[in-house]
Amino acid sequence: MVEAVRDAFGHTLVQIAHTNPNVVVLDADLASSTRVTHFASEFPERFFQMGVAEQNMVGVAAGMALMGKIPFVSTFAVFASRRVCDQVAISVAHCHLNVKLVGAYSGIVSGNNGATHQAVEDVGIMRSIPGIVVVDPADDIEMEQALHAIVAYHGPVYLRLTRDVWPRVSPQGYQFALGKALLVRQGNDVTLIGSGMMTSQCVEAADLLAESGIEARVLNMATLKPIDIDAVVEAAEETGAIVTVENHNIYGGLGSAVAEALGEHAPAPMMRVGIRDCYGECGANAALLRKYRMSPRHIAEAARSVVQRKR
């Protein structure tokens, strides 16, 4: 059965902590939402409830990292990025400490909590802080794989979680590697590059495109920083057109990262699907994706228009 990314995170963290005694978890009164409750009941002495005080939580995690711990700081993505931006930059990133920041309920599909709880700029914030690795897993399989890689990596990581269940895109037996994109579907007319739950929307869009004779390649870009430049360049050279699809503002996130890679290495026509520089609102996930022009139908429209611009 397919799990939500946050559930896969919660279970896998417990598994890893059984063999890695250095893993500790800090929570800002959201453990039941971020699913670190499993860790809290299994390892109460390694679980630190820090209350609704995220700035202190990040600093405490930095201190624990100095002592050789691998602290997971878990809260909602809006707080893990905007609220503690300076603490992350100075106490964690500037010191290059082994702190793992977990931003749950990311993007516009954040459990019908509305604009205050929709992180549309977290990736942009984290990508612009020197030395932070940014990971946005697409599904439960990738989440589990990615968490092992994140713990094995020594350095600050921002891990983006989504709340709900979305269709799985990772194959069974998939081996995740930090900084490597996953080819989800082969195609040579256009490449849809997705991250997080939006990769599943790309697959649906590719089905729609196939009906009108356009064979879309789908790449899942789970690591947003460092981005897999080789995969982006290969896609541009082989398909000649790119659409980026992200659960984030079109500024600063996946679309920007891909545009940077294309601009420097392989200029090609591209379109960005994502939140178009505005704040969101309440509503069911499907309704939000439709209204903010991020549904499979909108992705397919973007792909058709970019294909027309191919040389």
Token pair for 88:
């992350």
For residues 229 and 181, is the Cβ–Cβ distance under 8 A?
no
242/255 Cα distance (integer angstroms): 10
Token pair for 254:
């996946």
Nearest approach in angstroms of CB 18 to another protein is 17
DSSP letter string over 250-276? Answer: TTTSHHHHHHHHHHHH----EEEEEE-
Nearest approach in angstroms of CB 230 to another protein is 31
Question: In terms of DSSP H, where are the helices of 51-135?
Answer: 54-66, 77-78, 85-87, 122-127
Q: Which is nearer to another protein, 86 or 277 (CB)?
A: 86
What pairs with residue 49 in β-bridges?
A: 27
Q: Please give the single-letter amino acid code of residue 265.
A: H
Q: Which is nearer to another protein, 146 or 151 (CB)?
A: 151
Nearest approach in angstroms of CB 142 to another protein is 30
In degrees and rounded to multiples of 5, residue 83 shows phi and psi of -65, -35
- Largest Cα separation within the chain, whole Å, is 61
Q: Which is nearer to another protein, 47 or 292 (CB)?
A: 47
Q: Which is nearer to another protein, 55 or 285 (CB)?
A: 55
Applying CB under 8 A, which residues contact another protein?
24, 45-46, 48, 50-51, 53, 55-69, 71, 86-87, 89-91, 94-96
Question: In terms of DSSP H, where are the helices of the chain?
Answer: 5-19, 31-34, 37-42, 54-66, 77-78, 85-87, 122-127, 140-152, 198-211, 229-239, 254-265, 285-291, 296-308
Q: Which is nearer to another protein, 36 or 209 (CB)?
A: 36
Nearest approach in angstroms of CB 43 to another protein is 11
311/308 Cα distance (integer angstroms): 8
Q: Which is nearer to another protein, 23 or 241 (CB)?
A: 23
Nearest approach in angstroms of CB 85 to another protein is 11
Nearest approach in angstroms of CB 129 to another protein is 13
Query: What's the distance, CA 185 to chain centroid?
Result: 19
For residues 206 and 255, is the Cβ–Cβ distance under 8 A?
no
Nearest approach in angstroms of CB 163 to another protein is 26
Nearest approach in angstroms of CB 21 to another protein is 10
202/254 Cα distance (integer angstroms): 14
Q: Which is nearer to another protein, 69 or 248 (CB)?
A: 69
Q: Which is nearer to another protein, 64 or 190 (CB)?
A: 64
